[in-house]
Amino acid sequence: MTADLEGTTTRVVEVQGTPSGLGWSPDGDLMIVSMDDRKLLRFTGEKLEEIANLWDLASFNCNDMVVNEQGRAYIGNFGFDFEASDPYAPGEIVTVSPEGIAEIAADNLAFPNGMVITPDGKILIVSETLGERLTSFDINEDGSLTNRRTWAVLEGMTPDGITLDEEGAVWVASPVSGGVFRVHEGGEITDKVSVSKQAYACVLGGADRKTLFVMISPPLEQLFRLKGIPFDRDVESSEQGGKIEYCRVNMRGAGRP
């Protein structure tokens, strides 16, 4: 769906396998991660078609994605069924070329989730939600990822969706922390924006890319339990459904998405 600042929503396309990460191809087609069946789809404006099937590469359901300027997609996955309380297992980043060729770009990640690519197209930063950190990689000419290193340690947080600003800082949605945090490389937190429920994703947008949009929803009980955080089901789940909240910030967005 699309939404404007007046709250008007428009349905774009139905995705049976549960839509997750979004991106755009160089020719403007909408690229969609289909979570449950682990596929990458393309919506041309008229029809929905499959780009790649990731079932044999992703350890569990696929989630967030970033697409570079050449149309190469990078897609994370859960690693294990945490909602069913299965034992922890690491996940992968799967990359899909513009030609639809899929392969594992990085493995042994603690629930790889939100991702950004720097404006020069040379560095990818990914949230490791259960690792309490942001991790970065160099992006090589062939799209492969190398030189893995910790970008920031975020103790006690569960970094999910992220967005990059022009100063090189990353806004991090943490769905057990009640807000979005602006983090510099190394882990310094300079700003926090509180939200009414729990923040799962964020992006800098608007005409000047200085509007911080935050996707919020009631908390996931399984995530709280997994992190050992007390959860009051009656209080926390009193309001159902997701919302988009927003505010103005000083630094404009940069890179992709």
DSSP string, 23-63: EE-TTSPEEEEETTTTEEEEE-SS-EEEEEE-TTT-SS-EE
How far is it, in rounded angstroms, from Cα 121 to Cα 90?
26
Alpha-carbon Rg for the chain in angstroms = 17
Q: What is the pLDDT of residue 56?
A: 97
Which residue in 252, 198, 249 sits closest to 220, CA to CA?
A: 198
- What is the model's pTM? 0.94
Q: What 8-state DSSP symbol labels residue 237?
A: T
How far is it, in rounded angstroms, from Cα 219 to Cα 232?
10
Q: Which residue has the tokens 């449950």?
A: 36
Burial 140-175 (b: 16+ CB within 10 A, else e): eeebebeeeeebbebeebbbbbbbbbeeebbbbbbb
The DSSP H or E segment spanning 231 is: none
How far is it, in rounded angstroms, from Cα 178 to Cα 196?
7
- Ranges assigned E (strand) in 84-144: 91-96, 102-109, 112-117, 123-128, 133-139
Cα angle at 107 between 72 and 91, to 5 degrees?
95
DSSP string, 170-225: EEEEETTTTEEEEE-TTS-EEEEEE-SSEEEEEEEESTTS-EEEEEEEPPPHHHHH
- Whether the pLDDT of residue 239 is over 70: the answer is no
Q: What mean pLDDT comes out for the span 213-217?
A: 94
Q: Which residue has the higher pLDDT, 206 or 223?
A: 206
Q: Which residue has the higher pLDDT, 247 or 230?
A: 247
Q: What 8-state DSSP symbol labels residue 165?
A: B
Least confident of 89-93, 156-160, 236-240: 236-240
Confidence of residue 84 (pLDDT cuts 50, 70, 90): confident
Is 120 exposed, middle or buried, given 0-12, 13-18 or 19+ CB atoms closer than 10 A? exposed
Which residue in 140, 154, 230, 145 sits closest to 187, CA to CA?
A: 154
Which residue in 182, 256, 239 sits closest to 214, CA to CA?
A: 182
Summarised one tens digit per residue, pLDDT across range 29-71 is 999 999 999 999 999 999 999 999 999 999 999 999 999 999 9
